A = this chain, B = another copy of it.
Amino acid sequence: MATLRDVAREAGVSVATASRAINGLGNVTAPTKAAVMAAVKKLNFVPHSGARSLTRRKTDTVGVILPDLFGEFFSEIIRGIDLVAHESGMHLLLGNMHGSTHETAAAIAAMRGRVDGLLVMPPDLKPELLSDYLDPTLPTVLLNYDAGSLDLPFVAVDNYRGAYAMTEALLAGGARQVVHIAGPKHNRDARDRQRGFVDAMAQVGGVRNPAILPGDFSEESGVKAARLLVEGQLPADAVFAANDQMAVGLIAGLAESGKSVPGDIMVAGFDDIPLARHLNPSLSTMQVHIDRLGSTAMMLLLRILRGETLGAASATILTPALVARGTTGGVAAARTSA
């Protein structure tokens, strides 16, 4: 592979001149520049980004650290990030914490020297730990994580208000006994959604200790919840699952037990994954523009990298929108129904 020195030699100039010519800095005459460019073409020279970033002290890359890469949720986030990053000529370096705290530290450490900034989504990490791992000199935006005590910019979904709104809607739709399927215990999203549910039940429904079934955001745990519900003879006329994935499993489980949705029992989810509208009946849910979560965070990071100071703008909360569909009897079944 040709280096800049090779190009300089070929063009009969110094490396400094070659560098200036290639990067379009002013002080190079047209003929000199032409000679350099000819050498570049001839030798097929492509600048070594690693070396360049070493002196420039910028890499034009941002690190993205996600808890997992599974499912549409993450692909949407990445797509949103990429959209904005691409516009600014930034690259994306993917890190995956694979659920382990230790891996998280490693993933973050490995980013040093490779990226100009970090986008981190640590749904089940304690703030103190997180601040230990993060490099304070590296611009960082948190995804879906209210930093709280940490003084870091973040973009989050208003899980609390979303859950509150959905619960309210179920009650308004005639449900009296609403059961919640919770997400993983340590997951902040899950906890906030549960809080929203509990508060809405108390404040709007006048119910003190609403039933809550355990879950872990997986489809399987939704199936299990259906079993618990039916076998446990839990009185319920509506179930609000903490995410769509569990709602999908729940509906399958209810169908096996001969329960009809929404006839016997209404079902609602959270996230509005693409699958939601294709179910039959289609799934009522809280629509989160997942890609916007990513793109907003990326825009925030870009502004920080540009040196802008963002005061209150550093905390962005996206409010999910209620989408009433078939499983709450809100609208006719999706058109995919036969």
Contact = CB atoms under 8 A, between A and B. Distances in A.
Given A79-B69, A93-B91, A336 B252 contact: yes
Interface in A294-338: 334-338
B61 A71 contact: no
Contact of A86 (B96, B109, B260, B274): B96
A118 B95 CA distance: 17
Interface in A8-65: 46-54, 59, 61
A185 interface: no
Q: How many copies does the complex hold?
A: 2
A137 B3 CA distance: 14
A255 B50 contact: no
Interface in A248-283: 248, 251-252, 255-256, 260-261, 274-275, 278-281
A52 B112 CA distance: 11
Given A75-B71, A110-B91, A135 B82 contact: no
Interface string A58-96: 010100000001111011001100100010000111111
A50 B110 CA distance: 10
Contacts of A336: 248, 251-252, 255, 279-280
Contacts of A111: 49
Contacts of A53: 50
Give the top 4 A-B pairs by smallest Cβ distance, nearest first: A75-B75, A48-B113, A50-B113, A280-B280
Interface of A: 1, 46-54, 59, 61, 69-72, 74-75, 78-79, 82, 86, 91-96, 98, 109-114, 135, 137, 248, 251-252, 255-256, 260-261, 274-275, 278-281, 334-338
Given A248-B336, A280-B280, 19 more contacts: A1-B112, A46-B109, A46-B135, A47-B113, A48-B112, A49-B110, A51-B113, A52-B113, A61-B93, A61-B114, A69-B75, A69-B78, A69-B82, A72-B75, A75-B78, A92-B93, A255-B337, A256-B335, A279-B336
